[in-house]
Amino acid sequence: MNFWREVMDFFWGPESLPLLVMVVGLFFLLHHFLRDERPGIFNTVIFYFVCVFGLFISGVLHALAIARGADILHEVAVIGAGVAVIRLWGLMVFRLILPRIKLNPPRITEDIFVIIAYVAWFMVRLRYAGLDLGSIVATSAVITAVIAFAMQDPLGNILGGLALQLDNSIEVGDWIKVDDLAGRVVDIRWRSTLVETRNWETVVFPNSQLMKNKFMVLGRRTDQPVQWRRWVWFNVSLEAPAPRVIRVVEDAIRQTSIPNVATDPPPNCVLMDMDDKGYARYAMRYWLTDLMPDDPTDAMIRWHIMTSLQRAGLKLAVDERHIHLIKENEKYEDAQHQHEITLRLKTLHRIDLFSSMTEQELKWLAEHLRFAPFARGNLITRQGDQQSHGLYILIRGEAEVYFEAENGERRTLNILHKGDFFGEMALLTGAPRRASVVALTDVECYRLDKDAFEEILRARPTIAEEVSHMLAVRTAELNSAKQDIDAVANQPSITQSSSE
């Protein structure tokens, strides 16, 4: 009995039970609220109980009269248990309490406070053990030099992290570029800064490295929203007038709502170079609002550039090469042309508007159709446009026809599918577009311009009568939609006057 009493007297003090209850309580609180930190919390509590077991072993050694071993093990276990408690309280304060009161200090603040607490606890226990750490360091120049040399890099990293935080060089969430690596800052710790790249990698930069070397913060400008200018390059033949190329591309990009592309500043196209290979080099510059999907957004911009140039009859340029063609090439091109005309004739046969035309007239019409692709989100025709007088035949994809009232309210009139056509009103009368059409998916169309269709009308005036019926039907639909919108807009005022 005396043996176990000596063990318990040395091992279990009056503060042991409250401390144990506190650790268990902290464990359950942190384990419940901090799900992402559970492995670290569990390991810390396990370490605490290992230290408690070490205290028990020191009590056994004391009861066995191994005094020196018992004292050393006791102090080591007490220091370890204190470190575990400090760690738990650090998580409690910086990860649970402060975020609940809308305070989110950087991770480096937590690391520094916890490290200071570790050092203070270690020095207090050494003092209780009878060691005067100050006199030892002061009287030993060798130890001082060794400690200073050993702490050179850690101190440099700590001071570097503090400097980065104090002068707001970088913050969590910033996108930075160091040499060839670019990524988003996810954490700034006492030793290093963690950066996640777009390739699902985490790069660890020592804080001292960031302080000594230059790095680029992407998308940041004083008093401006985060957005990063991107350059998308493309080449067009020198035969194409530069103002026309710029206008076509800028109109296509600016009139389309593309995700993650800023409207202010607006995208702009510039002529950057005229190459001796026979083409002009252009750049479409736009501002990216979300810096993560850089390449996918560039791809969308390229797709809109390509479709807008195709609609305008312009081609992307490649290096010119002079090749002597043989007759088989002419035959191949003729076969391709005839195949395309056959496809166009099949499309025209499915349209009631041209049902009274002869095969020769349809073939002539097919020769004058122009291929017009649109990327998803492109505005094909705009309500009120007085310049566009073409008829569009949808051969692939879906498009939405909508009417926009003066108050900005938008009403969908129809969803167009393969084989549908639109624009016959502007084609025949030259009137402004009475509705807008936007591509819901990637769309391919044939466009028939007014000049080509007028030649058919001069040869066959009866076609105008058939088209007139179609015009009357669609005019009625537009008028009905406008009346519905006006009725909804006037309803609040009618209700108010009735209540009065």
Token code pair at residue 459: 């040869």
Query: How many angstroms separate the CA atoms of 191 and 111, rounded?
Result: 9
Q: Mind spelling out the 3-state secondary structure of 160-175?
A: HHHHHHHCCCCCCCCE
Which residues on neighbouring strands pair with residue 410, listed in sequence order?
A: 404
CATH number of 327-485: 2.60.120.10
* 3-class secondary-structure state, position 335: helix
Q: Per the confidence metrics, is the pTM higher than 0.85? A: no
Residue 248 has pLDDT above 60, yes or no: yes
Work out the percent of the chain whose per-residue pLDDT is above 70.
Answer: 83
The whole-number pLDDT of residue 172 equals 86
Residue 337 C-beta-side C-alpha neighbours within 13 Å: 9
The region of weakest confidence among 117-126, 136-145, 149-158 is 136-145
Decide if 427 contacts 450 (C-beta within 8 A): yes
Confidence of residue 499 (pLDDT cuts 50, 70, 90): very low
Q: DSSP readout, 168-208?
A: TS--TT-EEEETTEEEEEEEE-SSEEEEEETTS-EEEEEHH
Coil/strand/helix, residue 194: strand
Nearest to 353 by CA among 292, 295, 412, 425: 425
233 has pLDDT over 90 = yes
- pLDDT recorded at residue 495: 39
| Fold topology of 228-311 | Alpha-Beta Plaits (3.30.70)
Q: Which region among 143-157, 271-285, 384-398, 471-485 has the lowest average model confidence (pLDDT)?
A: 143-157
User: pLDDT digit string (tens) for 330-365?
Assistant: 777 788 888 888 888 888 888 777 777 788 888 888
Apex CA 472: angle with CA 471 and CA 478, to 5°? 85
Percentages helix, strand, coil for the chain, rounded to the nearest 5?
A: 55, 20, 25
pLDDT digit string (tens) for 297-324?
999 999 999 999 998 889 888 766 655 5
Confidence at 132, pLDDT banded by 50, 70, 90: low
Closest among 450, 436, 461 to 384, alpha carbons compared = 436
Beta bridge partners of 192: 206
Burial of 181 (0-12, 13-18, 19+ CB in 10 A): middle
| CA nearest to 409, candidates 484, 349, 339, 463 | 484
Residue 202, pLDDT score: 93
Over range 227-243, report the average pLDDT.
91
Q: What is d(CA 287, CA 267) in angstroms, rounded to the nearest whole number? A: 7
Per DSSP, 261 falls in state B
Q: Supply the DSSP symbol for 240.
A: S
As a residue count, the chain comes to 500
Question: pLDDT of 423-474, one tens digit each?
Answer: 877 777 777 888 899 999 889 999 988 888 788 777 777 777 766 776 677 6
Range 170-218: architecture per CATH:
Roll (2.30)
Structure tokens at 172: 């969590």
As a whole number, the mean pLDDT across the chain is 82
Q: How confident is the model over 211-220, as pLDDT tens digits?
A: 888 899 999 8
Quick check: 5 pLDDT over 80? no
pLDDT for 12 beyond 50: yes
Band (228; pLDDT cuts 50, 70, 90): very high
Across-strand partners of 187?
A: 194
Tokens 């004739």 belong to residue: 345
Element (H, E) at 61: helix 38-63
